[in-house]
Amino acid sequence: MLDFSINNPWLVAIALNSILMLVSIVIPKKLLTPAGTINAWGLGVVVWGTLGWRGYAVVMFYFLVGSAVTRIGMAQKEAEGIAEKRGGARGPENVWGSAFTATICAIGVGGITFGWLDHDWESLLILGYVASFATKLSDTTASEVGKAYGKSTFLITTLKPVPRGTEGAISLEGTLAGIIGGILISLIAYSLGMITFTGVIICTIAAFVATNIESVIGATLQSDIDWLSNELVNVINTIVGAVVAILIAIIWY
């Protein structure tokens, strides 16, 4: 028998995300493109349906903070030609570039309910979920703060000075901001009871490792491989963050 009560998380997910989608359409400041809005609706339904309001709170924190960080120094970055396209509004490629890995982890958690996976995987998949968003927020924060405020930027592979906004460039300001971003979203997940304090440490380490690997990819491969877009690199970045976190947890425990 189908459950149409308020206790059904999927019905709640559909209703809540539909309301938020309508709100996002009418507000004057667009954080998402029309196609991005539809894809974000799907992401939100999956996350709430599998991880409930706690998992949803994590993705909303990432989205709101990530969108705000993208707008730091926007006028200056636009003048220098290094700003995000569409004034920072997220399209479907941005939604899934950021959240593909987290969605797989969330579906895995949902699969445990149906007996597709052993319950021993639940805490690891939730850790991977948080780590993927910690990685992406760390990457976004490091990149945007570095482009806006980085006094000296260096190519990660050679440490030679390069202009701000160069693929694979790092700066002290951006690196510190990235670490803070990863810690903040990990602490949000901790405060919601999704991960332990040890999990906060693991996610922070995983985010730092993955963000630097992403910079190496940007400095070495991205300019030479036509199909290696920023969005695909973001997917690789978050996969690395989630996998590193899960592996550390397996070894740690």
From first to last of its 253 residues, what are the pLDDT tens digits of the chain? Answer: 445 556 788 899 999 999 989 988 887 667 788 888 999 999 999 999 999 999 999 999 999 998 888 888 776 766 666 655 656 577 888 899 999 999 999 999 988 877 777 778 899 999 999 999 999 999 999 999 988 888 889 999 999 999 888 888 999 999 999 999 999 999 999 999 999 999 999 999 999 999 999 999 989 988 788 888 888 999 999 999 999 999 999 998 7
Rg (CA), the chain: 18
Q: Supply the pLDDT for residue 106.
A: 96
pLDDT recorded at residue 77: 63
Reference 31, options 98, 81, 79; nearest CA is 98
106, containing H or E segment: helix 92-113
Task: Let me know: does 109 contact 126? Beta carbons within 8 Å.
Answer: yes
d(CA 131, CA 133): 5
Measured distance CA(73)–CA(87) in Å, rounded: 11
Please tell me the predicted confidence (pLDDT) of residue 114: 72
pLDDT of 78 reads 64
Q: Rounded distance, CA 177 to CA 183, Å?
A: 10
Helix (H, G, I), strand (E, B) or coil at 197: helix
Q: What integer pLDDT is reported at residue 2 of this predicted model? A: 43
pTM: 0.90
CA–CA dist 191, 146 (Å, integer): 28
- The number of helices, as runs of H, and strands, as runs of E, in the chain is 8, 2
Distance linking the first and last C-alpha atoms of the chain: 41
Q: Which residue has the tokens 């667009």?
A: 30
pLDDT of residue 1: 43
Residue 233: the pLDDT is: 93
